[in-house]
Structure 1
Amino acid sequence: MGAPPTLTKDGYEMHMGTNHLGHALLLKLLKPVLDKTPDARAVHLSSAGFRHVGPAGIEFDTLKSAKSETALPYRYAQSKLACLLYAREASKRYPNFKNIAINPGEVQTELFTREAGDDLMKHLQEHVASKLAIPISEGVKNHLWATTSPDINNGEFYEPVGKTGGLEGHGLDDEMAKKLWGWTEEQLKDQAL
């Protein structure tokens, strides 16, 4: 996340390409197996950061640009909103297995500090977040719960650990979820292993 504005090798804004399109392609490729597997589920990694998108939510006309005019937190937030909305829409379109989205919580990672990028974000990560965030050993608990719990609800968004009720704003936008689904399908139509 700390990377400066850049594109994937396929020409997508880096956060959207990595956090959303890569995962959507994997789900598309795994779908035939998931359809046949009892109690299968796809756990989509979102973030509380989805709440920090701009007023438009996902800016579809900018997803094939480095978005250098857009602040790093907004680029990240937009990709995490995409993960959340895609999980919600997949839960409707893929009825043979469950799709949920999770927020791992504020986890002590090197998300902002390992690459050149936004100095303010690096400072906040090193001096503020490092004191408030939980260790990785705690941060994986929502992932583990989501992959093993018999108590998940299809299409739900789970905060740590296994708590619902965190959806708000654009996270509830069914029309944006449908638009994202269509856009994603169009982008991935020629992709295969």
Structure 2
Amino acid sequence: MEQHTMSGKTAIITGANSGLGFETAKIFAGLGARVILAVRDIEKGKIAQQEIKEESSQATVEVMKLDLSDLDSVRAFAEGIISRSDSLDLLINNAGVMTPPYAKTKDGFELQFGSNHLGHFALTGLLLPLLLRTENSRVVTLSSLAHRKAAIDFDNLDGSKGYKGMKFYGQSKLANLMFAAELDKRLKQHGLSTLSIACHPGISATNLFKLGNREMPRIFRGLMTRYLQPATMGALPTVYAATDPGIKGGEYIGPDGKGQRRGSPALEEPDPAVNDEAIRQKLWEVSEELSGVTFDFSK
């Protein structure tokens, strides 16, 4: 990619202070975009901002507070963006929690479904007017290999009837993919130029892989870097989804290597469950109801 192919563009990246989000922010800043790091921890965000500026001295990088597990925070963030921006080219729904012990968000949702899916659903809906005002804007939502063999259990979304961390992680990542696909369908139905694309990083060595709340032992870190791809490679499907001129909307981009675990960005087929229109429709309606955010596709 040539330098400054993104100059004049504004990109919001959730969870941009570490891992994939941070690598994505670095690349976008290097390409000349104005990058907004939407982070839960402002101090960590400022450290990330500093590092990006050291690498790209001309970069415009801002830090704003966003806690996806708190809908009041999501609303406040969206209001802050709308009050001082008249366009938004890219929204990268990147942040995620993975297999935490059972916990609920401030609004009473199971933490993974609440943060990974509902928080991003609400954020996208609230920022939609700005995205629609921006010609050829894109929403890129990150899923995971864990979406395969997952299902949306509408009778136990909050985990009160039993909770397994990995199962609920898979559910939240299937929800991400279904949301991206349904959003694309609705944007096209309204004849809008905004595109919705899903992607996944393969298996990347990021700090998602914490053991509970403990840091991972050194020996595991060594093994991870050997078998998993570095976050710089894991970020490439996101960058591809955000910038490739051939993208039409509705694609799912992941690494092209064995088992889609690592490699260069390529078009991929999601699990067939993603194409279940009835479940997608139901998920959309439930998400609007739970988040209190409805999508307005009129420009």
TM-score, L = length of structure 1: 0.85
Q: Does 1:80 align with 2:183?
A: no
Gaps of 5+ in 2: 1-97, 256-263, 295-299
Q: Does 1:170 align with 2:273?
A: yes
Question: For the Cα contact (< 8 Å) 1:101–1:156, is it kept in 2?
Answer: yes
Q: 1:132 aligned to 227, 242, 246, which one?
A: 227
Question: For the Cα contact (< 8 Å) 2:126–2:293, is it kept in 1?
Answer: no
Deviations 1:25-73 (A, max 9, x none): 11001100111111111001111110042xxx10012112356x33211
Question: For the Cα contact (< 8 Å) 1:109–1:136, is it kept in 2?
Answer: yes
Q: What SS class does the counterpart of residue 197 from structure 2 fall into?
A: strand
Q: What SS class does the counterpart of residue 290 from structure 2 fall into?
A: helix
Gaps of 5+ in 1: none
What is the deviation of 1:130? 4.3
Q: Which has the larger radius of gyration?
A: 2
Aligned to 1:24: 121
Q: What SS class does the counterpart of residue 144 from structure 1 fall into?
A: helix
What is the deviation of 1:102? 0.4
Bigger share in strand: 2
Instruction: Specify the code of the residue in structure 2 equivalent to 1:59.
Output: D
Aligned to 2:154: 60
Q: What SS class does the counterpart of residue 163 from structure 1 fall into?
A: strand
Bigger share in helix: 1
Question: For the Cα contact (< 8 Å) 1:105–1:139, is it kept in 2?
Answer: yes
In 1, the alpha carbon distance for the partners of 2:178 and 2:100 equals 24
Q: 2:291 aligned to 182, 188, 193, which one?
A: 188
Q: What SS class does the counterpart of residue 159 from structure 1 fall into?
A: strand
In 1, the alpha carbon distance for the partners of 2:204 and 2:268 equals 20
181 and 141 in structure 1: CA distance in 2 versus 1, 3 angstrom threshold: same
What is the deviation of 1:129? 4.3
Question: For the Cα contact (< 8 Å) 1:52–1:74, is it kept in 2?
Answer: no
Q: What SS class does the counterpart of residue 143 from structure 1 fall into?
A: helix
In 2, the alpha carbon distance for the partners of 1:21 and 1:73 equals 18
Aligned to 1:152: 247
Instruction: Specify the code of the residue in structure 2 equivalent to 1:62.
Output: N
Q: 1:179 aligned to 260, 263, 282, which one?
A: 282
Q: What SS class does the counterpart of residue 148 from structure 2 fall into?
A: helix
What is the deviation of 1:155? 1.4
Q: Does 1:115 align with 2:212?
A: yes
What is the deviation of 1:173? 1.8
Aligned pairs, number: 184
Give the share of equivalent positions with the same residue, in percent: 35
Root-mean-square deviation over aligned CA pairs: 2.5
Runs ≥4 residues deviating over 4 A: 125-130
190 and 164 in structure 1: CA distance in 2 versus 1, 3 angstrom threshold: closer
Aligned to 1:50: 147
What is the deviation of 1:112? 2.9
Shifted more, 32-41 versus 151-160: the winner is: 151-160
Q: What SS class does the counterpart of residue 153 from structure 1 fall into?
A: coil
